[in-house]
């Protein structure tokens, strides 16, 4: 114990010396304004949860661009649309890199996954593979009319079974069902396999498949340890002693995730071998992404390694399940707290789609503008990644007239930008889809929104996410009546982590709409 104590004091002295020397070296630069710091920790004492709200408050004191030091890591925070555009247009290449965090290295195969890889040939190849073989316009359109529609119908069928008996409706926790739907869509698109459900055989209803329960447990255990507010990434002493067991918790969840993905990959490998080696149309919408990658592996094994395939799948599953289901959960929470908006959306649905069939992807895209405005307003108020993913400067540059040195982490506060009264007018925190309707009717350009990021590191899954959210939300609005549990307003407290989950999962009372009962009975 004495040796550990001495070691800790020695480390503290080294960090203090490093901090003081670094501070002297950087005093001459025209750095963005910064609040008072303390030795070793820098500004970590100001990092409160949720982080986006804490940094928004700091921006109110320091301005739209300010600097922090988190441990020994320099950070610049941007909170205005003008400066965000400057970062991702004029300096897009400079900020195309990602900072490497110890926690993320454990999760992302040493930083080689799509979301965390350094900018360069490896990242460009990963991006191309994802864009061509899963997220192209052709593939997403095919998925919308096929896989997504089928999974949305299955969810509606299960909700109908759960809520059709009795006039009081059924109390459901939506996040679990939404997570399962998102995972099922990706399982079919990426691995050409279906989730295992007991109700597929005997009609018993459960709100999650076996695979969804397994993967959600992994996500729930990994996400709290990721993100800028994780002190483990900024204080090496916490990693060296790891008194909270963070490393072991992350590695245990990662092992279960990789085992889950490994089973999907091996199943596709066996299927390809049974079908004669996987020759054929790699671009066909019925070919899974894993099948394409395994076929490419035969000609370029040094590029398309098993690790590369697993890492890409892990990124797509991780990003595509949690963010899509969370966005839909926030949208339903907002509709329940604003029943007049829900009634208006249902009226649009009845007028444009009718009650003799289920809403389709084509309806969402071309006949339901108000539903799209609801999705846009949800993403404005509750972006799935409120701080986006962090960027890092690869060269010195200037933002807003201030110097940003090479190696500085850039945080763009999308949450603050989306609630800027200078851009969105009075009451920017109110849920009002009509703000998009008004702008559309007047032909006005909307203020900057960046729920999926901006520039070359923008999320490539935007189109798929919007199609999925639109289809799911449209079906929930069209087919069911929704009420708050006990008439109590839905708790809109925000959770913490890399994404912005609800602190209290949404529970609501669900009843089939009388006009849609015949359609639901035929599902």
Binding residues for heme: 459
Tell me, what DSSP letter sits at residue 32?
Answer: P
Contact 69, 75 (CB under 8 A): yes
Residue 117 neighbours by CB under 8 Å, 6+ apart: 98, 108, 111, 123, 126
Q: What is the DSSP string of 169-204?
A: -EEEEHHHHHHHHHHHHHHHHHH------THHHH--
Q: Which residues are annotated as a binding site?
A: 459
Q: How far apart are CA 459 and CA 469, in angstroms?
A: 16
Is 202 in contact with 279 (CB distance < 8 Å)?
no
Please state the three-class secondary structure of 408-431 as a single string: CEEEECHHHHHCCHHHHCCCCCCC
By CB neighbour count within 10 A (0-12 exposed, 13-18 middle, 19+ buried), where does 1 fall?
A: exposed
CA-closest candidate to residue 25, choices 17, 35, 33, 34: 17
Residue 52: both structure tokens together: 């986006």
Backbone angles phi, psi at 78, to 5 degrees: -115, 130
Please provide the distance, in angstroms rounded to a whole number, between the alpha carbons at the two ends of the chain. Answer: 66
Round to whole Å and give the CA distance between 205 and 158: 6
The closest of 52, 46, 47, 45 to 494, measured between CA atoms, is 52
**Could you count the other beta carbons within 10 Å of the beta carbon of residue 279?**
10
**Do residues 173 and 154 make contact, with C-beta atoms less than 8 angstroms apart?**
no
């Amino acid at each position: 114990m004495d040796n550990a104590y001495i070691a800790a004091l020695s480390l503290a002295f080294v960090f203090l010396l490093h901090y003081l020397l670094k501070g002297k070296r950087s005093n001459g630069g025209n750095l963005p304004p910064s609040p008072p710091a303390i030795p070793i920790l820098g500004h970590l004492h100001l990092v409160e949860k949720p982080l986006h709200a804490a940094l928004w408050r700091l921006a109110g004191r320091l301005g739209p661009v300010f600097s922090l030091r988190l441990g020994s890591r320099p950070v610049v925070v941007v909170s205005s649309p003008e400066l965000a555009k400057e970062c991702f247009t004029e300096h897009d290449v400079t900020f195309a890199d990602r900072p490497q965090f110890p926690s993320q290295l454990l999760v992302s195969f040493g930083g080689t996954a799509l979301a965390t890889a350094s900018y360069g040939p490896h990242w460009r190849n990963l991006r191309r593979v994802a864009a061509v073989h899963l997220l192209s316009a052709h593939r997403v359109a095919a998925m919308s009319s096929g896989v997504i529609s089928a999974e949305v119908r299955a969810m509606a069928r299960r909700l109908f079974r759960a809520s059709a008996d009795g006039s009081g409706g059924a109390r459901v926790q939506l996040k679990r069902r939404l997570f399962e739907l998102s995972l099922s869509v990706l399982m079919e698109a990426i691995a050409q396999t279906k989730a295992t459900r007991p109700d597929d055989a005997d009609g018993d209803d459960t709100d999650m498949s076996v695979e969804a329960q397994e993967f959600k447990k992994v996500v729930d255990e990994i996400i709290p340890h990721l993100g800028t507010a994780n002190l483990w990434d900024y204080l090496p002493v916490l990693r060296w002693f790891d008194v909270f067991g963070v490393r072991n918790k992350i590695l245990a969840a990662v092992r279960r995730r990789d085992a889950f993905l490994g089973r999907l990959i091996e199943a596709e490998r066996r299927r390809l071998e049974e079908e004669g080696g996987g020759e054929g149309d790699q671009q066909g919408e019925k070919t899974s992404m894993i099948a394409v990658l395994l076929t490419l592996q035969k000609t370029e094994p040094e590029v398309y390694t098993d690790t590369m395939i697993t890492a890409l799948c892990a990124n797509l599953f991780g990003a595509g399940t949690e963010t899509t289901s969370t966005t839909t959960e926030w949208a339903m929470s907002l509709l329940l707290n604003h029943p007049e908006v829900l009634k208006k959306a249902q009226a649009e649905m009845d007028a444009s789609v009718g009650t003799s069939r289920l809403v389709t992807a084509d309806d969402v895209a071309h006949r339901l503008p108000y539903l799209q405005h609801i999705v846009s307003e949800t993403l404005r108020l509750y972006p799935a990644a409120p701080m986006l993913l962090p960027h890092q400067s690869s060269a010195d540059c200037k933002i807003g007239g201030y110097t940003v040195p090479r190696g500085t982490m850039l945080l763009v506060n999308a949450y603050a930008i989306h609630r800027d009264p200078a851009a969105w007018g009075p009451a920017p925190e109110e849920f009002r889809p009509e703000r998009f309707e008004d702008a559309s009717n007047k032909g006005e350009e909307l203020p900057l929104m960046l729920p999926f990021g901006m520039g070359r590191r923008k999320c490539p899954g935007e189109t798929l996410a919007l199609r999925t959210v639109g289809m799911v939300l449209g079906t929930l609005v069209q087919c069911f009546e929704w009420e708050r549990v006990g008439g109590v307003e839905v708790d809109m407290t925000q959770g913490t982590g890399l994404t912005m989950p609800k602190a209290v999962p949404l529970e609501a009372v669900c009843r089939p709409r009388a006009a849609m009962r015949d359609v639901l009975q035929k599902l």
